[in-house]
Chains A and B, each alone.
Chain A
Amino acid sequence: MPERVRVRCAAPPGHVRVPWYLRGKTGIIECRLGSFGNPEQLAYGLDAPHVELLRVRFRMEELWGNGCEKPDDTLDAEVHAHWIEPAGPCDDG
């Protein structure tokens, strides 16, 4: 059973590598990629604790709604663990 996660819908100041179009969207964990320095600190030359990085797969319908080209086409993006939260079982139909 794929693990469903939602990207946090947050807008903190500073350098963030989560594109706006993914915030608040739900996908499944496609792959766990290991741990990497947090770009939110790296961008400022600060000590950057390592955080887990995951590849999350989103359906185009989830990202763009009914107007998408093809609902089952997908988009994968790398998202750090502190940007995602459990989404629970299928709650968007």
Chain B
Amino acid sequence: MTAEHRHVGKSSVPHRGMHADHEGRLTYWQLLEISVRELLVEKGVTSAGEIASEIAAMDGRSPADGARLIARAWSDDGFRKRLLSNASSAMAELGLDPSGLRLIAVENTRYVHNVIVCTLCSCYPRNLLGLPPDWYKQRAYRSRVVRSPRAVLREFGMELPDHKTVRVHDSTADMRYIVIPERPAGTDGMSEEELVGLVSRDAMIGVAEATRPQERD
């Protein structure tokens, strides 16, 4: 590795020649990523522009698309059933491109609460919800939510009554999961567009309830 490489930025930052004055030393894995990326560009396998546009597309995704799915499911019972039976094709109904995402929707009810984790790494429906929050990728959440989900949910501010069964979903292979939260009380007259604003990222992971209308803002 040349001295020049030690001054490059971290992953997803343009490489040679970019001085990153406030960065610490690069880790082994950051250097490896930069080296492989540069080789792929130099060999013409991909281009810097292609990499930049993929990063921009990923950064541009947000939980908003997921919230649209949930709001539609709350508003249209037929859609809710289709979302539960084949979530990827239900996505396409809203004009969302599943692009390989194999999505499973799990529904919270009066008797069941669902929560999502990936204990092995950080599998997450990124096409739909954007990048996962940092805590989702950390060992504390990944190891504890499968062992003591009620205690972890309490730390997120959710006290689950005894009559609710908790179902933890470990995304160990090809499926990705989204939670359909319970529709909050007091929302009967709300339009689908208004309901979208009640669906947070955390509610779709299962570590929060949907926002009640009076709690908004």
Q: Are A19 and B120 in contact (CB under 8 A)?
A: yes
Q: Are A77 and B149 in contact (CB under 8 A)?
A: no
Given contacts A73-B149, A75-B146, contact A80 B170 (CB under 8 A): no
The answer to whether A70 has its CB under 8 Å from any CB of chain B is yes
Q: Which residues on B sit within 8 Å (CB–CB) of A41?
A: none
Instruction: Give Cα A79 to B187, complex, Å.
Output: 39
The answer to whether B101 has its CB under 8 Å from any CB of chain A is no
Q: Which residue of chain A is the closest to B112 with respect to CB atoms?
A: A74
Q: Which residues on A sit within 8 Å (CB–CB) of B150?
A: 69-70, 73
Residue-wise interface mask of B (183-203) relative to A, using a CB-CB cutoff of 8 A (1 in contact, 0 not): 000000000000000000000
The answer to whether A72 has its CB under 8 Å from any CB of chain B is yes
Q: Are A19 and B170 in contact (CB under 8 A)?
A: yes
Q: Are A18 and B172 in contact (CB under 8 A)?
A: yes
Given contacts A19-B119, A19-B120, contact A74 B166 (CB under 8 A): yes
Given contacts A19-B120, A69-B148, contact A78 B167 (CB under 8 A): no
Interface residues of A in 40-91 (CB under 8 A from B): 53, 55, 57, 63-64, 69-70, 72-80
The answer to whether B151 has its CB under 8 Å from any CB of chain A is yes
The answer to whether B131 has its CB under 8 Å from any CB of chain A is no
Instruction: Give Cα A74 to B111, complex, Å.
Output: 13
The answer to whether B94 has its CB under 8 Å from any CB of chain A is no
The answer to whether A33 has its CB under 8 Å from any CB of chain B is yes
Instruction: Give Cα A34 to B165, complex, Å.
Output: 27
Number of A interface residues in the complex (CB < 8 A): 23
The answer to whether B174 has its CB under 8 Å from any CB of chain A is yes
The answer to whether B175 has its CB under 8 Å from any CB of chain A is yes
Q: Are A78 and B175 in contact (CB under 8 A)?
A: yes
Q: Are B173 and A75 in contact (CB under 8 A)?
A: no
Q: Which residues on A sit within 8 Å (CB–CB) of B171?
A: 78
Task: Give chain A's interface residues, CB within 8 Å of chain B.
Answer: 17-19, 21, 33, 36, 39, 53, 55, 57, 63-64, 69-70, 72-80
Task: Give chain B's interface residues, CB within 8 Å of chain A.
Answer: 102, 119-120, 146-151, 162, 165-175
**9 A-B pairs whose Cβ atoms sit less than 8 Å apart in the complex:** A19-B170, A53-B173, A55-B175, A70-B150, A70-B162, A73-B168, A74-B165, A78-B171, A79-B173
